[in-house]
Structure 1
Amino acid sequence: MAEQTARFRDVFAVGEFRVLWIAQTQSRIGDQFARVALALLIFERTSSAVLTALVYASTYLPPLLTAPLLAGLADRYSRRTVMWAVELLRAALIGIMAIPAVPLPALAVLVVAASCFDPLFSAARIATLPKVLPGGRYQVGMSISSSTDGIAQIAGFALGGIVVAATGSPHLVLAIDAVSFLVSAALLRWGLRPHLPASESDGAASRAGGFALAGIRLVAGDRRLMGLAALVWLFGLFVVPEAMAAPYAAELGRGEAAVGVLMAADVVGMVIGGLLVARLGSGLRRRLTVPLAFAAGLPLVATLIAPNVVVTVALWALSGLMSSYLVLAQVRFVQLVPDGMRARAVGFAAAGLQTAQGLGMVIAGGLAEAMPPSAAIAVCGAAGSLGAVVISLAFGLAGASEAADPERSPAAAGDRAEPSRT
């Protein structure tokens, strides 16, 4: 049975998707609110740029360890329960952080604790989405979610800064963040069905064995899944413009105003690209994934000539648009994973993506010590394009025809067997 292309209104007509979409958007904006508030709060108390950077980084680092370990809970318990429970827990932790009397060491511990549960929520949400949006609607839903995520990042940073500037109180921003998690928990608790995962005894789940590490074993043991995961991780080389915006602007002799525009360029491109690929058919998705990944690095290579800010913004936005391959790779990855293993496999892939983004930025920074920032960005772009070709050849992604129809994939087989108990 061929997959039918869905329309945006078909997806938004699904009440459970609207609940997941609003909850995700609130969580992402809340995360950005908290990061702005924390950076300002720590600098206000310590006047130390180093401590401020360390605390800010601590919101990104813990998930690298907790993603493979905690994501499996969403393969064992009701995914609705997992999501709203995580939101309540984060609301409590952020709420404590909003108390002005909390000492700095305790604040740092709370930051780490709150960020540890991010991967569990994300894994449960992504694993639930194919059940909420079966068939062609899933692709559109993923594209909407990806595009919204980019918009929420920009809006969260901007609004967080505006609220702090207007009120002079980072604690108020943290309190708003805590309330947003409470609202999200309520929406998920009363707006979703339980969405229990399929039995772990089915198919690849039983062969993977174990619990926390089963997702790693499954992905590593499947050539297609490993290739798609590697292609997702390659994004770490395409995101370096965000980290290099400030030194690149300095190379061009431009001030701080140019930095913000440069940092937003690739995010805007990804938002547009995510919407453009939303309604592609399954066959076209497979054929375009690798070419788009290859093309994503080419505009960054053009940065080598250090054009003016306007041209650079256009190039980086084009790179972001081509980076919509990420949505295509993620959709195919999720569809190939059995339902009972989805959260763990997604958790492993997500942890790798986060690590790759951090490493990409570190590599670009190191290169910029030995060459101009424009050249460092170009090197990373070239490496990313070359990497797409190598991954495609090594894992046979370009010509793979397996699971052409999502309804024939292992994931779909698990989807049809969802338990009905509450």
Structure 2
Amino acid sequence: MPGPTATPGYRAVFAVREFRTVFVAHLLSLLGVVVSEIALTVLVYDLTGSPLLSSLTFALGFLPYLLGGTLLAGVADRYPARRVLVVCDLVCAGCVALMVAPVTPVAGLLVLRCAVAAVAPVFNGTRMATLADILGEGDLFVLGRSLLRIVSQSALLAGFGVGGVLLTVVPPRGAIAITAVTFLASALLLRFGTAHRPARAATAERQGLGGTWGVLRDRRIRALMLLFWIPPLFIVTPEALAAPYAREIGASTAALGLLMCAMPVGTIAGELFAGSALSARVRERIVVPLVAVGMLPFLLYAVEPGIALAAVALLLAGATGAYTLGLDAWFVAAVPEEQRGRAMTLMTAGMMTIQGVGMAGAGLAAEFLPVHVVVVGAGVLGTVCVLAVVAEVRATEVRDGADHHVTSG
């Protein structure tokens, strides 16, 4: 194993056969989600001609996260992880297959969309917890999480493009049918390419919401959860308002695409650099500085910048997302093993839900204020909120130092 100042690098993570299986399954499942979202949105619009229902189809990808992440979080620890992952993929494949049926009404399509979104946090949280079993709780786990985030950002960029091209060749139902195959392929990979492990907490409490909120009784875990949740609440603002901002400054549609891609590209670059060039100790030391300055680039919007300068601001903001590597190490060290699946499911559900809230809040604010003012306000308010959470994280580190110390991975 590498020393405390060394980093094994991403190559060492790919050297673990079981991780390679999880990685490919993740890619297939993610592409299935992205392409099915696009195809279903187009299908609903074709059937109804309603822009509201079409946009509602996309929004429903966020809303059930909260419900699924709270009510179903205990599933991640109560049953063997491989079984949970395979069943989630099969549920998604079944829902998508029903979407393909011509007899399925629009209301049924929306319900099926909610069902896919409801199981997503359970799948993601279970997979995150399983990574600690496959890679250990040290630096390999952090790098494995980083790789899955990188492929998620890349798949979002590529998936929308692939989905758009696919819809020029096949009808929406045909594209949805293809995604059913990707879910089934992911299920097969996970079933036969990963080891069986017993449930983390075979006698886990069956208390629904009570058991889920029980995770948050730990002050340290609660503070770290907030550090995962609060930045996305504000950082989605410029992306959510990219189209109105491009219109505000008279930019072209191509320029809008540049704005939409800038932050994900910065996030990928920041994670790749931190994961390959920095040691575990350094990654943990830069968590607070990076998260503290992450939204300050939004202040450039005060001068109503052109597309190039706005893209630079978003690129820089995205690059500071590298703080999540060190934060992952703190989180896995703070959560007891028997609660790991539940905690990670809740954390994932919260992140997705909070992004939906942030997008809605940004749109509401932009109804009354110029877009550039809203983005600047998000940068200022977001920084203040993050600093308050950082203070709480520091307080728990000092108070509970014997139990919740920050490790070097």
What TM-score comes out, normalization by structure 1 length?
0.89
Summarize the Cα distance change of 1:397–1:268 in structure 2 as closer, same or farther, 3 Å threshold. farther
Partner of 1:184: 186
Q: CA deviation at 1:21?
A: 0.9
Q: Give the alignment partner of residue 158 of structure 2, picking from 150, 155, 163.
A: 155
Summarize the Cα distance change of 1:145–1:34 in structure 2 as closer, same or farther, 3 Å threshold. same
Q: How does 1:304-315 map to 2 (within 5 A)?
A: 304-315=302-313
Q: How does 1:98-137 map to 2 (within 5 A)?
A: 98-134=100-136, 135-137=138-140
Q: How does 1:73-84 map to 2 (within 5 A)?
A: 73-84=75-86
Partner of 1:316: 314
User: Match for 1:223: what amino acid?
Assistant: R
Matched, 1:248 2:250: no
Q: Is the 8 A contact 2:69 2:348 kept in 1?
A: yes
Secondary structure class of the residue paired with 2:72: helix
User: Match for 2:19: what amino acid?
Assistant: F
Q: Give the alignment partner of residue 223 of structure 1, picking from 211, 219, 223.
A: 219
Secondary structure class of the residue paired with 1:193: coil
Structure 1 window deviating more from structure 2 (95-104 vs 44-53): it is 95-104
Q: Is the 8 A contact 1:72 1:212 kept in 2?
A: no
Q: Distance in 2 between matches of 1:369 and 1:106?
A: 32
Q: CA deviation at 1:200?
A: 6.2
Partner of 1:278: 275
Partner of 2:26: 24
Identity in percent: 34
Q: Is the 8 A contact 1:286 1:398 kept in 2?
A: no
Q: CA deviation at 1:256?
A: 2.1
Q: Distance in 1 between matches of 2:18 and 2:58?
A: 33
Q: Distance in 2 between matches of 1:397 and 1:238?
A: 25
Q: Is the 8 A contact 2:63 2:356 kept in 1?
A: no
Matched, 1:70 2:60: no
For these two proteins, the number of residue pairs brought into alignment is 400
Return 5+ residue gaps in structure 1 as ranges.
Answer: 408-422
Secondary structure class of the residue paired with 1:253: coil
Summarize the Cα distance change of 1:354–1:102 in structure 2 as closer, same or farther, 3 Å threshold. same
User: Match for 1:261: what amino acid?
Assistant: L
Q: Is the 8 A contact 1:292 1:325 kept in 2?
A: yes
Q: CA deviation at 1:257?
A: 2.0
User: Match for 2:310: what amino acid?
Assistant: T
Q: Is the 8 A contact 2:220 2:397 kept in 1?
A: no
Secondary structure class of the residue paired with 1:75: helix
Q: Distance in 2 between matches of 1:93 and 1:321?
A: 36
Structure 1 window deviating more from structure 2 (285-294 vs 308-317): it is 285-294
Q: Distance in 2 between matches of 1:52 and 1:298?
A: 34
Q: Is the 8 A contact 1:119 1:347 kept in 2?
A: yes
Partner of 1:392: 390
Q: How does 1:79-98 map to 2 (within 5 A)?
A: 79-98=81-100
User: Match for 2:273: what amino acid?
Assistant: L
Deviations 1:10-58 (A, max 9, x none): 1101111111111111111111101110111111111111111112211
Q: Distance in 1 between matches of 2:279 and 2:290?
A: 15
Deviations 1:192-224 (A, max 9, x none): 0113243467xxx88xx94543232222x2222
User: Match for 1:181: what amino acid?
Assistant: F
Partner of 1:164: 167
Summarize the Cα distance change of 1:265–1:397 in structure 2 as closer, same or farther, 3 Å threshold. farther
Structure 1 window deviating more from structure 2 (295-304 vs 325-334): it is 325-334
Q: Distance in 2 between matches of 1:263 and 1:224?
A: 35
Q: Distance in 2 between matches of 1:119 and 1:270?
A: 22
Secondary structure class of the residue paired with 1:213: helix
Structure 1 window deviating more from structure 2 (317-326 vs 76-85): it is 317-326
Partner of 2:236: 239
Q: Is the 8 A contact 1:227 1:397 kept in 2?
A: no
Q: Distance in 1 between matches of 2:395 and 2:14?
A: 32
Q: CA deviation at 1:5?
A: 2.2
Summarize the Cα distance change of 1:48–1:327 in structure 2 as closer, same or farther, 3 Å threshold. farther
Q: Is the 8 A contact 2:233 2:354 kept in 1?
A: yes
Q: Distance in 2 between matches of 1:33 and 1:19?
A: 21
Deviations 1:361-411 (A, max 9, x none): 22222221222101101110111212221111233269656433367xxxx
